[in-house]
Amino acid sequence: MKEQVAELLGQAVDQLKAKGTIPGDHPVRIMVDNTRDKTHGDLASNLALTLAKPCGQKPRDLAEAIIESLPDNTLISKVEIAGPGFINFFLASDSVAEIVGDILEQGYDFGRNTSGQGEKVQVEFVSANPTGPLHVGHGRGAAVGDSLCRVMDANGWNVTREFYYNDAGAQINNLALSVQARVKGLTPDDPSWPEDGYRGEYIIDVANSYKAKDTIDADDQHVTGSGDPDDLEAIRHFAVAYLRREQDLDLKAFGVEFDVFFLESSLYTEGKVEATVQQLIDNGHTYEKDGALWLKTTEFGDDKDRVMRKKDGNYTYFLPDVAYHKDKFERGFKRVINEQGADHHSTVTRVRAGLQALNEGIPEGYPDYVLHQMVLVTKGGEEVKLSKRAGSYVTLRDLIDEVGRDATRYFLVSRRADSQLTFDIDLARSQSNDNPVYYIQYAHARICAVLGKASQDDLDNITTSGVAALGELELDDERELVTQLRRYPEVVQHAGQTLEPAVIATYLKELASIFHGYYNNHRILVDDPSVMMGRLALSAAIRQVLANGLDLLGVGAPEQM
């Protein structure tokens, strides 16, 4: 709709350029905005304001000229000049109502677009190391990352969900030692407990399962415990598989699944780390100092150079990261988005610098990052810091068990990633109007209930006589509802462009709010068949958009509550 109005304005500009009112060589950027105030019509353009100066005219005079040059059309019913020189467009009722027909016809596809043109995009998120249960921060990553994937998919991208983890480093060794200690019956208080060992109670479960020679099937790990307390290697494999499985179960309970699990160890075994190092050396971006090998990241915007190979011959963490992203690029992902906690933001510059130093034509801003800030969990007004199972942090499982999947996902995805989030457990679990999740779901369930009362015959005719009757809908709130529905595709697009799935949540809250108001003021199943059919069509369209939007958030759309 915006595009169509912009198109009309474009034609008016061309005409005025031909007349000389607008300088022919002046670049014109046409902006059409939704209006905030309905007295300003449906859409507005600031075109006359931006062109006033180069044209040497008063904005309102120029607006007048632009309006006179607008081609004839059926889209717009009225145009006004307002304020300092805005051009306000009032859309014709018919063209507005059309959107309802579109929604009913397109169903699940309404709001989706093809702007991604089927290009491959990889979204890496969660990427927790298998050293313990997932915590709230991972939960935020999972909620934001998965929703982002859904949004990218809705914008026509071919999305791959990827989970990367370290299965072989010092931390994993530490994990193995901790499990081994538990297998041997030691406790964290014991003097011979491994230094910096993992102290959480979950380690006991891993140890017991290992001793019982259980078989573990995670998404990407399949191991049977040997039970041998002295076989550290066997313990390591088992512990990784065990915790991976636990994470998988949490993620499944959260409604999040991955296409690819990528092991850091494979970068070593397949020689990709070595190859990356060699390439960096060959390109002359490295030097030896103090027995270590350094990468000149300062050549690419870093504030100091970074060690890539330590004195002891091991690599620092960011080198495999560079090798990993080189691999992503070589796998054909021209676009990659990494969703991570903001506590790792210092890696952004390093990884990008490393990729530039490879000199392989990888674009400068590659990869994209979405960094989420910390999550603070509160209950009863107090900060919650500990969980029994993990010991030192609140687990994702705790939240899912306590407040439910939908509410947890909603709360974690509904705020912009770059601001800190307070997760109020009491609010999230309250089944009341305080809780936006239920507020939105309730709107969906209510419509389902109403449609359930309508006759099958009427429902069958909803797309024909229902849509045809939309002209009868003259109420302000009906008009407002249709306007909100019309904006949905823009919101999906906006979420995709800014990589901010949270805007979907905001939109749905607004749509639900307008609907609840409408529902309370007007009956849908009224005697007048024409009015009823129109309202049924409108309601069905709202239900569809609510369902589509909730789906992008990974939150369910219940038919009854």
State which of residues 11, 187, 359, 431 lies at the interface with RNA (CB under 7 A). Answer: 431
How far apart, in whole angstroms, are the C-alpha atoms of residue 533 and residue 519? 15
How far apart, in whole angstroms, are the C-alpha atoms of residue 385 and residue 9? 56
Cα–Cα nearest to 357, from 405, 308, 395, 316 = 308
State which of residues 58, 289, 385, 388 lies at the interface with RNA (CB under 7 A). Answer: 289
Q: Is 173 in the site for RNA (CB under 7 A)?
A: no
Range in contact with RNA (rule: CB under 7 A) among 96-104, 133-141, 238-246, 502-510: 502-510
Residues 6+ apart with CB under 8 A from 408: 139, 143, 254, 396, 399, 400, 428
Range in contact with RNA (rule: CB under 7 A) among 100-108, 279-287, 300-308, 541-549: 300-308
Window 141-170: contact mask with RNA (x via CB under 7 A): -------------------------x--xx
Give the SS3 label for residue 342: helix
Q: Give me the least distance between CB of 213 and RNA, in Å please.
A: 30
Q: Give me the least distance between CB of 360 and RNA, in Å please.
A: 24
State which of residues 15, 77, 113, 171 lies at the interface with RNA (CB under 7 A). Answer: 171
Site for RNA in 255-284 (CB under 7 A): 264
Range in contact with RNA (rule: CB under 7 A) among 62-70, 224-232, 523-531, 546-554: 523-531
- Is the separation of the CB atoms in 131 and 243 below 8 Å? yes
State which of residues 75, 342, 459, 499 lies at the interface with RNA (CB under 7 A). Answer: 342
- Residue whose CB is less far from RNA, 71 or 83: 83
- Is the separation of the CB atoms in 371 and 345 below 8 Å? yes
- Is the separation of the CB atoms in 241 and 222 below 8 Å? yes
Structure token digits, residue 118: 């089927």
Cα–Cα nearest to 508, from 418, 432, 410, 409 = 410
Structure token digits, residue 54: 């180069």
Q: Is 240 in the site for RNA (CB under 7 A)?
A: no
Range in contact with RNA (rule: CB under 7 A) among 30-38, 94-102, 266-274, 459-467: 30-38
Range in contact with RNA (rule: CB under 7 A) among 44-52, 67-75, 245-253, 459-467: 44-52
Q: Is 429 in the site for RNA (CB under 7 A)?
A: no
Q: Give me the least distance between CB of 361 and RNA, in Å please.
A: 26
How far apart, in whole angstroms, are the C-alpha atoms of residue 172 and residue 556? 36
Question: How many C-beta atoms lie closer than 10 Å to residue 95's C-beta?
Answer: 17
Q: Give me the least distance between CB of 225 and RNA, in Å please.
A: 25
How far apart, in whole angstroms, are the C-alpha atoms of residue 72 and residue 69? 9
Give the SS3 label for residue 418: coil
> Any idea of the CA torsion for 327, 333, 334, 337, to the nearest 10 degrees?
-90
Range in contact with RNA (rule: CB under 7 A) among 115-123, 330-338, 390-398, 511-519: 511-519
- Residue whose CB is less far from RNA, 228 or 480: 480
Site for RNA in 404-423 (CB under 7 A): 415-416, 418-422
